[in-house]
Amino acid sequence: MSMWRRNKYALFVLPAFLLTITLFFGGLADGLLKSFGYFPAIGQDTLRLSFYQQALAERAFQDSLFLNLRVALLSTIFASILGITLALVLYAFQLRSKRPWLLRLLQLPLTIPHLAAGYFMVLVFSQSGLMARLAYAVGWIDAPAEFPVIVNDAFGWGMVVTYAWKEAPFVALLLYPVLARIGSGWYDTARIYGARPWNYISTILLPAIRPALLTASLIVFVYTLTAFEVPYLLGVTYPATLPVYAYQLYTSGNFEDRSQALAIFWLLTVVTLLFGWIAYRFYRKSYDRGWE
Amino acid sequence: MKKVVLNGTLAVLVIAGCSEQTAQQEIDLNQEWSTFEEQAKGTEVNLYMWGGSDSINQYFDNWVIPRVEETYDITLNRVPVTDTKEILTQVLDEKTAGKNEGSIDIMWINGENFKTAKDNELLGKPFSDKLPNVQNFVDLEVPQIASDFGIPVENLQAPWGTAQFVMTYDEARSDYPKSLADLEDWVQQYPGKFTYPALPDFTGSAFVRHVIYQEVGSEVFFEEALMEREEVEELLEPAWTYLNAIEPYLWREGETYPESLARLDQLFANGEVDFTMAYDPIKAAAEVQNGRFPETTRNFIWDEGTLSNTHYLAIPYNSPNPQGALVVINELLSAEAQAAKMDPANWGDLPVVELAKLSEEEQQLFSAIDLGEATVPIREMEQNRLPEIPSIYVEWIEESWLEHVAQE
pLDDT tens digits, residue range B143-172? Answer: 889 999 888 999 999 999 999 999 999 999
Enter the pTM of the model. Answer: 0.78
Residues 229-258 of chain A with CB under 8 A from chain B are 232-233, 235-239, 248, 251-254, 257
Chain-chain contact of A238 with B272 (C-beta, under 8 angstroms): no
Beta-strand pair B75-81/B44-50: parallel
Res. A196: pLDDT tops 90: no
* Listed residue (B266, B282, B255, B259) closest to B346, CA to CA: B282
Which of B200, B252, B259 has the CB atom closest to A149's CB atom? Answer: B252
B33-161+309-375 CATH, one of 3.40.309.10, 3.40.50.2300, 2.60.40.10, 3.40.190.10: 3.40.190.10
| pLDDT number for residue B143 | 87
* pLDDT exceeds cutoff 90 at B14: no
Q: Is residue A157 part of a domain?
A: yes
Q: List residues of chain B with CB under 8 Å from any CB of chain A.
A: 192, 198, 200, 252, 255-257, 259, 267, 270-272, 395, 398-399, 402-403, 406-407
Q: Do B198 and A237 touch (CB under 8 A)?
A: yes
pLDDT digits (tens, 9 = 90+) for A251-267: 765 667 888 999 999 99
Distances (CA, A) of B95 to B103, B107, B237: 11, 16, 44
The DSSP letter of residue B129 is G
* pLDDT tens sequence across A119-129: 999 999 998 88
Model confidence band, residue A7 (pLDDT cutoffs 50, 70, 90): confident
In chain A, how many domains are there? 1
Tell me: pLDDT of A290 over 60: no
pLDDT digits (tens, 9 = 90+) for A82-95: 999 999 988 888 77
pLDDT at A98 over 70: no
pLDDT of residue B256: 93
Residue-averaged pLDDT of chain B: 89
> Is there a contact between B407 and A238 if contact means CB atoms under 8 Å apart?
yes
CATH 3.40.190.10 domain extents, chain B: 33-161+309-375, 166-307+387-406
Nearest-CA distance from B264 to chain A in Å?
A: 12
> Which residues does chain B have within 8 Å of residue A115's beta carbon, measured at their own beta carbons?
none
* pLDDT for the residue numbered A267: 94
Residue B76 pairs in a beta bridge with B45
What pLDDT is attached to residue A284? 77
pLDDT of B15 reads 42
Range of the domain at A108: 47-288
Express each pLDDT in B95-135 by its tens digit: 888 888 999 999 999 888 898 899 888 999 999 999 999 99
Domain annotation covers residue A9: no
SS3 B159: strand
| pLDDT above 70 for B13 | no
**Position B233: which residue type?**
E
Nearest to A212 by CA among A71, A74, A80, A76: A80
Determine, yes or no, domain membership for A35. Answer: no
A5, part of any domain: no
Q: Report the complex ipTM.
A: 0.75
**Chain B residues with CB-CB distance to A253 below 8 A:** 200, 395, 398
Residue spans of beta strands (DSSP E) within B53-186 = 75-81, 106-109, 147-148, 151-152, 157-164, 166-170
> How much is the pLDDT for B115?
87
Could you tell me the CATH number of the domain that includes residue A52? 1.10.3720.10
Contact between chains at B198 and A253 (C-beta distance less than 8 A):
no
Mean pLDDT of B353-379: 91
The per-residue pLDDT for A197 is 84
Q: Which percentage of chain A shows pLDDT scores above 70?
A: 92
More confident: B43 or A40: B43
Does the domain at B166-307+387-406 match CATH 3.40.190.10? Answer given as yes
